[in-house]
Every structure is written in structure tokens, then in C-alpha cells.
Chain A
Amino acid sequence: MPRIIVDVMPKPEILDPQGKAIAGALQRLGQTGFSAVRQGKRFELTVEGEVTEEILEQARHAADTLLSNPVIEDVTRVEVVKDATIGVGE
């Protein structure tokens, strides 16, 4: 079944406390190649049957209203993925 992937990231100007903590942990683990970490969210919306333009529009609406808060987050991706297995790379 096709899925619609929605990615949500904290806005660039908002400090991301979780990302900062992860960056600190990476440093402590000796993985020093990264200067910063930002943590976002990925949603997978499974669709029974074909992804019509109407369903995609619903997904965009959901992304803007429920899945993200425009005060602190940006929707960075709304995209259809056709493969059937959840969790396998696109």
C-alpha cells in the first residue's frame, strides 16, 4: 500500500534542545564529525488504494494543522512513496 511521508522539522530560528543534547552525546561518544544536530519528526500515512490528488491535499492539510505547529515547526516534505513495506527505505 502506498504511504504519504510527512517530515516536520523545528524552525531554523528555534533552538532545538533535544538536538543539542544529542549533539552533546555524540561528542561524548567520540563521534566528533558533526557540528550540530536537529531532531525532527517523520509521519507515515498509509493509504488504501490509489493516492489521489484529493488524498494528497488532505495530507498537506493534516501536515499544516495537526502534524505540525507553524509557530515552532516547518513541514519540510509531503511525498508519496509507493513501496508496500513500512520501514524499508524508499
Chain B
Amino acid sequence: MSETPLIGDFPPAPDAGLSGARIGVITFPGTLDDVDAARAVRLAGGTAVSLWHGEASLQDVDAVILPGGFSYGDYLRAGAISRFAPVMERVIDGAKGSLPVLGICNGFQILTEAHLLPGSMIKNNHLHFICRDQTLRVENNGTAWTSDYEAGSEIVVPLKNQDGQYVADEKTLDELEGEGRVVFRYVDVNPNGSRRDIAGISNAAGNVVGLMPHPEHAVEAGYGPDSSAFGPVDVRGGTDGLGIFTSVLKKIVGAN
């Protein structure tokens, strides 16, 4: 199914050859951004498949997105209860194979709680919920989710969170840096006190990526940030996040 643009000024039609790639988007109780993530998949040209946390099945999807929100109300710790959902057993098995898995915001928190990614998120150092358009640098374009970007390129996507301060011990941080597993880094402003300005990381194989900011909110002109790192755009015209989704789709169909 192709997506009908909501307003007149829209990006070029996606590559029709990508529609065979099926990306699962998991909904947990309290997930907020599953619909946006699914729309981002479709705008990038892929097929989005809704997955439910309570079912231990991935419906043979080619990749999985754990979207943002406040699953289980962030009770106990953000992501701590969702991590034990039936669907997560399949996600963990797949992630340890080669299944591409992306965790956005609360999805990133779930991936750290599931020990698929190292470190953890604690409350922002300034204690406030923050919502802003954030510039990130793509430090590693060798992952399943970043291959459509040039290494070192910058993107602007929304950031919105309360528990966004990435922490890990020094040894883990040194390993992440040494192995090129810092995938996204905050540029200009560190919005939450994250260690070494880390906004997103990957596992050693590069199939599992987690990030706090929201690329799925920067995929459609008219509904994105007011700026782009690639040049001037109209108001809300930023679509810098789309490359995350085209990256994985192209990888799945063998175009990257």
C-alpha cells in the first residue's frame, strides 16, 4: 500500500522495488509512536506490519521497530516491564541472528533493558521533559539502519523525552567508541547529559540500533522539523529521518 500525502507538497514517490520488504512495528500498552513509525515505513516505500506485544510471533517480518512512547507508563523503569513481553523473546532471538531491529526512544530503553544494547537511560540531567528539533551526526553508516547516509553527515530530527540521559561505565563507553558503535551523536547541544553526547548506539553486528531522538517524526514535508541539515526547507519541511527507513528497506531487498 502506498501512502497518500496529507498535504500538497510531498516528497518524490518512493522506490516501488522496496514494497516487498515487510517491517514489523510493535505496539506495547502505552506505546505512542507506532502509527507514525508504520507511516514512516510506508513513506519510505516498505510494507508496515503491526505486531502486538502479547503475541510471541513476528509474522515473518524482515525487520522490527520498537517505537517510542511510555510503555507500562514507564513504571518501575522505562522499558523494564515491556522487555519481558512475549513478543520480545522472538525479537531477542532474531536480534542475536541477523534480524534488523531499531529501538526509538522508549524502544531504545526496552532494548537496553533486554540487554541487546549496553548501558541504560536515566532521567535527563536537568529533570525536565524536553521537546526540540535536534541535530545529530551520523557517526557510523555501516549499520542496517544508517547505510543511506554519508558517514559524518548531520540530520535534524525531533527529540522528546524525560529519561533520555544515556549512561554506561567508562569501559563500555570506550568499547563503543573503539568499535565504532556510537551511531548517532548530539551536535551543538547535549540535551540531556548523555555520556559523550551519545544519541544512539548499535550492537557489535550492527543489526540492532537504538536512539533517543525520533526519525519517524521527520519523514514527511509539512509535519517535520523546521530545518534540515541538508539545506533550506519550508516550515515543518524537514525529512532528514527518512534515510533510517530507506536504509533498512534497501538492505532487505539487496539494493544496499
Residues of A within 8 A of B (CB): 10, 13-15, 17-18, 21, 66-67, 69, 71-72
A-B contacts, 6 listed (Cβ < 8 Å): A17-B122, A17-B125, A17-B126, A18-B123, A66-B84, A71-B119
Question: Is B131's CB within 8 Å of the partner chain A?
Answer: no
- Residues 65-106 of B at the A interface (beta carbon under 8 Å): 76-77, 80-81, 84
Contact, CB under 8 Å: A21 / B120: no
- CB-CB under 8 A for A14 and B127, given A66-B76, A66-B80: no
- CB-CB under 8 A for A69 and B119, given A17-B125, A17-B127: no
Kindly provide the distance from the CB of B76 to the nearest chain A CB, expressed in whole angstroms.
7
Give the interface size bracket for B toward A: 20 to 34
Kindly provide the distance from the CB of B148 to the nearest chain A CB, expressed in whole angstroms.
31
* Distance between Cα atoms of A10 and B120 in the complex (Å): 12
- CB-CB under 8 A for A72 and B123, given A66-B76, A66-B80, A66-B84: no
Question: Is B19's CB within 8 Å of the partner chain A?
Answer: no
A18-B123, A21-B127, A66-B80 known, 16 other contacts, Cβ within 8 Å: A13-B169, A14-B167, A15-B122, A17-B122, A17-B123, A17-B124, A17-B125, A17-B126, A17-B165, A18-B127, A66-B81, A69-B120, A71-B120, A71-B168, A72-B120, A72-B167
* Distance between Cα atoms of A52 and B173 in the complex (Å): 41
A13 proximity list for chain B (CB < 8 A): 169
Kindly provide the distance from the CB of A62 to the nearest chain B CB, expressed in whole angstroms.
11
Kindly provide the distance from the CB of B60 to the nearest chain A CB, expressed in whole angstroms.
30
Chain B residue nearest to A43 (CB atoms) is B76
* Distance between Cα atoms of A69 and B125 in the complex (Å): 19
Q: A10, A21, A67, A69: which has the most chain B beta carbons within 10 Å?
A: A69
* Distance between Cα atoms of A71 and B118 in the complex (Å): 8
Chain A residue nearest to B121 (CB atoms) is A72
A18 proximity list for chain B (CB < 8 A): 123, 127
Contact, CB under 8 Å: A67 / B123: no
Question: Is B113's CB within 8 Å of the partner chain A?
Answer: yes
* Distance between Cα atoms of A16 and B119 in the complex (Å): 16
Question: Is B202's CB within 8 Å of the partner chain A?
Answer: no
Question: Is B27's CB within 8 Å of the partner chain A?
Answer: no
A69 proximity list for chain B (CB < 8 A): 77, 80, 113, 120
Question: Is B112's CB within 8 Å of the partner chain A?
Answer: yes
Kindly provide the distance from the CB of A27 to the nearest chain B CB, expressed in whole angstroms.
16
A72 proximity list for chain B (CB < 8 A): 120, 122, 167
A66 proximity list for chain B (CB < 8 A): 76, 80-81, 84
Kindly provide the distance from the CB of A2 to the nearest chain B CB, expressed in whole angstroms.
23
Kindly provide the distance from the CB of A75 to the nearest chain B CB, expressed in whole angstroms.
14
A71 proximity list for chain B (CB < 8 A): 112, 118-120, 167-168
Chain A residue nearest to B165 (CB atoms) is A17
Contact, CB under 8 Å: A14 / B80: no
B122 proximity list for chain A (CB < 8 A): 10, 14-15, 17, 72
10 closest A-B pairs by CB: A71-B120, A17-B123, A72-B120, A17-B127, A21-B127, A69-B120, A69-B77, A17-B125, A72-B122, A14-B167
Chain B residue nearest to A18 (CB atoms) is B123
* Distance between Cα atoms of A31 and B165 in the complex (Å): 29
